[in-house]
Amino acid sequence: MTSTSDRLIDFLEEHSTEFLHNWRDKIVISEEDLYKTEVLRNGLRMYELVKRAIRNPLSEEEIRMLAYKTAQERVEANVNISEFVYNVNVGKSEIIKWVSRSGIEWDALQRYLEEINSLFDRFSYLAVKQYTDIRDKQLQEKELYIDQTHKERLTILGQMSSSFVHEFRNPLTSIIGFTKLLQHDHPDLPYLDIMQHELDQLNYRISQFLHVSRKEIIESKRETINLADMFDDLVEFLYPSLLDGDVTVKVDIDRDLNVSGNKDELRQVFLNLVMNSIDALQQVPGERELKIHSTVKEGMLHLSIINNGPQIEEGTINAIFEPFYTTKELGTGIGLFICKKLIEKHGGEIMCRSTEDETSFTIGLPLWSEVTFVKEKI
Ligand SMILES: Nc1ncnc2c1ncn2[C@@H]1O[C@H](COP(=O)(O)OP(=O)(O)O)[C@@H](O)[C@H]1O
Ligand SMILES: [Mg+2]
């Protein structure tokens, strides 16, 4: 006497071609699928697994092999996993349809139906999990690669800027020196003050590169800096650019506010931010306003540089601090990157908020505490 399971298996064996045919007609599979023919074979393999499961419950190991194999193929074929899940489900319905037509009484069929359901559930789970794991791993590798190239680009920038700084700094220093001598010998010579001012600007621009070019900044000198004085100085320094750009400045900083930090570096940060604001304001047809103000909260200084310029889209706010991100024809995209590094080195943080009405860059710096300088990692 043959057992129910043997009868069922025989029945499925007789109808395997029809099953495959029906399944093939219903599944979603692209003509370009790398593993088009393999998909059909996998269908048959699954059919074999069903037959074995009817005989004996399957171990996870047995299901895993086929699940991992198909997952790998789906990744390589670059197919959305939902198509795969759909095809597996079509297979399951087809098989259940055939099983229920086997002529075996319903009660006797129940345990086989349960076994088949469980086989398909476990198979889908393992395959989808494996598919996601492979995809995640690929993504991580991609990110690692991007990180790597990012670092390489920074190294190139470092090399570029060291030679840049060398080649430009030396003649510049001597030009600045000779201009001073000229002014000393001929105090009435016209245009010298303008030349000096422009040379100073150039010098500052160049030192921007200096900050990125030094891989590890030697502990920089720290001193007490009066913020209001520093901004008076900056506004004076930038006066020609402000005038030229038609920008009105309002500085509102408590005259008693002192921070401890490196003067050159903080000046560099504020200079970058103010110059960016002037640039952004050029897009405003009406009044161009630049506001600088400070507040103190819980031992932290918050210094904001605000302009009523164009909005920075939500999606780009983080990108602007990345090196080389620029929207300007002649931009370098390293200004904000350097600002962030220098502020972090001072134990602070820099944030940007932008609405339709105004864009603000706010720097938070610890006021009184003895901050240890964070060694710069670039
Ligand atoms: N105040 C601002 N308003 C609007 N956009 C800004 C402002 N500051 C910076 N940005 C945007 O951030 C980008 C990166 O700035 P930055 O790193 O200083 O490089 P760069 O000034 O050379 O472009 C700018 O090109 C600009 O698109
Ligand atoms: Mg800039």
Percent residues over pLDDT 90 in the chain: 56
- pTM beyond 0.85: the answer is no
Angle at the Cα of 139 (from 133 to 144), degrees rounded to 5? 125
Residue owning the nearest CA to atom 7 of ligand 1? 276
According to the model, what pLDDT value does residue 161 have?
A: 66
Token reading at 92:
């399951």
Q: What is the mean pLDDT of residues 222-246?
A: 91
- Which residues are near ligand 2, the ion (C-beta closer than 5 Å)? 276, 335
Share of the chain above pLDDT 70, in %: 91
CA 276–ligand 1 middle distance (angstroms): 6
277 ligand 1 Cβ < 6 A = yes
303 by DSSP, 3-state: which? strand
Range among 142-151, 168-177, 294-303 with highest mean pLDDT value: 294-303
Q: Which helix (H) or strand (E) holds 85?
A: helix 81-100
Instruction: Give Cα separations from 293 to 65, 231, 254, 272, 330 (angstroms).
Output: 65, 10, 9, 16, 29
**Average pLDDT rounded to a whole number, residues 234-251:** 92
For ligand 2, the distance from its centroid to the CA atom of residue 333, given in whole angstroms, is: 6
By most ligand atoms within 8 Å of CB, the mutation choice from 326, 341, 354 for ligand 1 is: 326
Counting from 1 in the atom list of ligand 1, the atom nearest the Cα of 305 is 1
More confident residue, 130 or 152: 130
Tell me, using a 6 A CB cutoff, whether residue 323 lines ligand 1: no
Pocket test for ligand 1, best of 320, 329, 334, 340 (most atoms within 8 A of CB): 320
Backbone angles phi, psi at 293, to 5 degrees: -145, 160
Domain boundaries, the chain: 4-144, 149-211, 220-366
Does residue 378 surpass a pLDDT of 50? no
Please tell me whether residue 184 adopts helix, strand or coil conformation: helix
With 70 as the cut, is the pLDDT of residue 164 above it? Answer: no
Q: Which ligand is nearest to the CA of 337?
A: 1
| Token pair listed for 316 | 């780009």
pLDDT digit string, tens, across residues 20-77: 899 999 998 888 888 888 998 999 999 999 999 999 888 999 999 999 999 999 999 9
> How far, in Å, CA of 338 to CA of 321, rounded?
8
Does position 372 have pLDDT exceeding 60, yes or no?
no
Its CATH class, for the domain covering 4-144, is mainly alpha
Average pLDDT over every residue of 87-115: 92
Q: What mean pLDDT, rounded, does the chain reach?
A: 87
CA angle, residues 346, 151, 277, in degrees to nearest 5: 50
Closest residue to atom 8 of ligand 1, CA basis: 276
- Separation of CA 6 and ligand 1 centre (Å): 75
CATH superfamily of 220-366: Histidine kinase-like ATPase, C-terminal domain (3.30.565.10)
- pLDDT at position 369 is 42
Strand intervals (E) in the chain:
223-226, 248-252, 258-261, 289-297, 300-307, 349-354, 359-366
User: What residues contact residue 299 under an 8 Å CB cut-off, 6+ apart?
Assistant: 366, 367, 368, 369
Instruction: Note whether 304 and 360 are within 8 A (CB).
Output: yes
Q: Residues in the chain, how many?
A: 378
Contact 95, 9 (CB under 8 A): no
Who wins on pLDDT, 201 or 320?
A: 320
- Interior/surface letters 240-251, b for 16+ CB within 10 angstroms, e for the rest: eebeebebebee
Ligand 2 midpoint to CA 348 (Å): 20
